[in-house]
Chain A
Amino acid sequence: MKIGRLAYILQFVMVSVLISSSAATASAQVEVVKGRRSFGVSGFAGDAAIAGQVTDVLKNDLRLSGYFALGPVSSAEFVQTGTVRGDRANLTVECMVMQQATKKVVLSKAYQGSAQDLRRVVHRLSDDIVQTIAGQRGIAQTKIAFVWARNGVKELAVMDYDGHNPRQLTYDRSISVRPRWSPDGRKIVYTSYKNVFPDVLEVDLYTGQRRRLATFPGLNSGAVFSPDGSTIALTLSKDGNPELYTMGADGGDLRRLTHTRGGESSPTWSPDGQTIAYVSDDSGAPQIWMVGRDGGAPSRLTVSPSYNTEPDWSRPPSGSDMKPMLALTSRVNGRFQIGVYDRSSGAVQPVVADDADNEDPSWAPDARHLVFMKSQRWRAQLYLLDVVTGEQVQLPAVEGGASEPAWGP
């Protein structure tokens, strides 16, 4: 680290700390606000090519965060300045953010990396700005798993939250679908047809190793980790009908939760881990139901529209005053749309309703953004939604089609 070279900058009090993935930044916490704050990005001095890239990624991150309205520096409440130093192998990105009216420097920080992981470096910076000014957990460093359909097969893939750096996880030339993350972000459980029958497999992202979690006769699918990571809920049909079960994350202690004539699928754990919402068509058309983690009498949540599936509970960050929300996919007039279930009224509020089919919502860990699949003329791509502003953003399209996204922790 070239500390000596940096030290002359008066504004920078250098504290050299190695921080791992979840850095808690000690910084000035400006008030928490719901509205968007005006923000001017003046860019970065230094190598023009690298500085331009850093600026572009930062602007995109700040825009996607939902907390900022980017505009001219002259009239912005907050203004960013910065410098890029070093060469491509050893880069330092220095950034300062000032509140113009008070001349108060709210963030001043340096980040090290290489040109190769420039996007990751800027994502850290963006999350620090979101934390400092909005007082919220940013999502710029998160990942999204999804199903990548091309050449007649479906493989699992993982990409950055902004759709960049898509990487294929499986190479089975089969059907790999419905990924869900472990709470620590280390593992993904999913449904694989690589051994002909649909099984629940788990892949460890650090080692690349896989193991079979559920290979019962019939359907093994829809696996999802409990918030504490100890338990997996899933759908099995081994007893003659698709029903909900739980099992330990180590594969033992199988328990059956539902007993119906209809089909149960798509479990999602409530943030406290005490209940599981899921889809059942026991009453005819598919609707969202809820059952305790140890079973008991299920209760029906949704009544209308006449088709509600793929529920996903949001998990507000700890310490946040946000309420958990249940996102789902409804069918209305033959079209699929994303809705949010309102517990107090029992109604489903549409949040993405247009002339496309919008399906498979998955919450970001900020409990504010959703990733979902939009299918237009039967071509499926992924979009982000900011539920506060209602803004939709299409992620960079992948070759073939992308579906069944799962936002990582």
Chain B
Amino acid sequence: MRKKFLVQVILVSVVAAVALTGCKSPFWKKKSGAAAGAETGVPPLGAGGETGIGERPMVSSAGALQHGQFAPVLFDYDSARIRPSEVSKLEAVAAYLKSNPGKLVIEGYCDERGTAEYNRALGERRALAARDELVKLGIDASRISTISYGKDRPVDPGHDEAAWAKNRRCEFVVVNQ
């Protein structure tokens, strides 16, 4: 009997007020207020000079970096080792830097195979390997900074070994400032 009675008893019924209070609402629950472009003036970490090798040159946008002055250094799959065949390309970069002012940005890239974040580290290791080679050739490390694009921005959009071989690369951009 008791069981039957309990069956009829509704435990709890809650009117769920779905609308949350304004100040706790993520942007998508507000009528306006997309995050578009808003960046507040919180200074970067260690304002006025982060430590590390290779101070960043002032570059307004990635489009301001002029590619093509030097031949890209190419890499084996999943490797950041400078192949002996590529050293002469680095010697050309070093020769230019010895007789010209300016800073150098080395961009490290990977082919599209492999996971995204791992390739960001791999692209950085390629750029750093090229930098280390230039330092051996007598270039001051403080003139060189690195950007890893991972598998973004391939130079060849193809999906075969010929394209991949071109995309596993470092590019060199001189920034005069």
Please give the residue numbers on chain A whose beta carbons come within 8 Å of chain B beta carbons, in ascending order: 1, 3, 11-21, 23, 25-28, 102-105, 108-113, 117, 120-121, 124, 154, 158, 165, 167-172, 174-175, 177-178, 185-186, 191, 193, 196-198, 203, 205-219, 221-222, 235-242, 247, 251, 254, 262-266, 279, 281, 285-286, 307, 309-310, 329, 331, 336, 359-360, 378, 403-404
Contacts and interface: CB of A to CB of B under 8 A. Distances in A.
Nearest to B28: A167
A113 B18 contact: yes
Contact of B50 (A110, A238, A281): A238
A265 B16 contact: no
A149 to B, nearest CB: 9
B14 A266 contact: no
B24 interface: yes
In the complex, which range does the number of interface residues on chain B fall in? Answer: 35 or more
Contact of A235 (B24, B115, B121): B121
Given A111-B16, A197-B147, A198-B147, A265 B120 contact: yes
A329 B115 contact: yes
Nearest to A210: B39
Contact of A18 (B17, B39, B56): B17
Contacts of B171: none
B150 to A, nearest CB: 8
A221 B120 contact: yes
Interface string B19-46: 1110111111000011111111011110
A237 B53 CA distance: 9
Most-contacted residue by chain A among B14, B18, B23, B45 (CB, 10 A): B14
B38 A209 contact: yes
A161 B55 CA distance: 41
A185 B25 CA distance: 11
B18 A208 contact: no
14 contacts: A15-B13, A20-B24, A21-B20, A124-B16, A171-B36, A196-B60, A196-B147, A210-B38, A210-B40, A235-B117, A238-B53, A242-B124, A266-B118, A279-B118
Interface of B: 7-8, 10-21, 23-28, 33-40, 42-45, 50-56, 59-62, 65, 78, 80, 112, 114-118, 120-122, 124-125, 128, 145-149, 152, 159
A206 B125 contact: no
B24 A241 contact: no
B86 to A, nearest CB: 19
Contact of B34 (A110, A193, A208): A208
Contact of B117 (A121, A238, A265): A265
Nearest to A375: B112
B125 to A, nearest CB: 5
A168 B116 CA distance: 20
A19 B120 contact: no
B13 A19 contact: no
A209 B38 CA distance: 6
B27 A208 contact: yes
A174 B18 contact: no
Given A158-B28, A212-B44, A238-B50, A191 B120 contact: yes
A13 B121 contact: no
5 closest A-B pairs by CB: A238-B52, A208-B35, A217-B52, A263-B121, A265-B121
A360 B115 contact: yes
B53 A209 contact: no
B145 A11 contact: no
A18 B60 CA distance: 50
B115 A12 contact: no
Nearest to A20: B20
B132 to A, nearest CB: 8
B26 A113 contact: no
Most-contacted residue by chain B among A120, A196, A266 (CB, 10 A): A196
A17 B15 contact: yes
A377 B13 CA distance: 50
Contacts of A109: 12-14, 16
Contact of A26 (B11, B54, B118): B11
B61 to A, nearest CB: 7
A136 B148 CA distance: 42
Contacts of B13: 12-15, 108-110
Given A15-B14, A112-B18, A170-B35, A218 B121 contact: no
Contact of A209 (B40, B61, B128): B40
A273 B120 CA distance: 25
Contacts of A212: 42-45
Given A169-B35, A266-B118, A112 B53 contact: no
Contacts of A265: 117-118, 120-121
Nearest to B60: A196
B16 A206 contact: no
B15 A110 contact: yes
Given A13-B10, A265-B118, A208 B146 contact: no
B51 A238 contact: yes
A219 B16 contact: no
Contacts of B55: 217
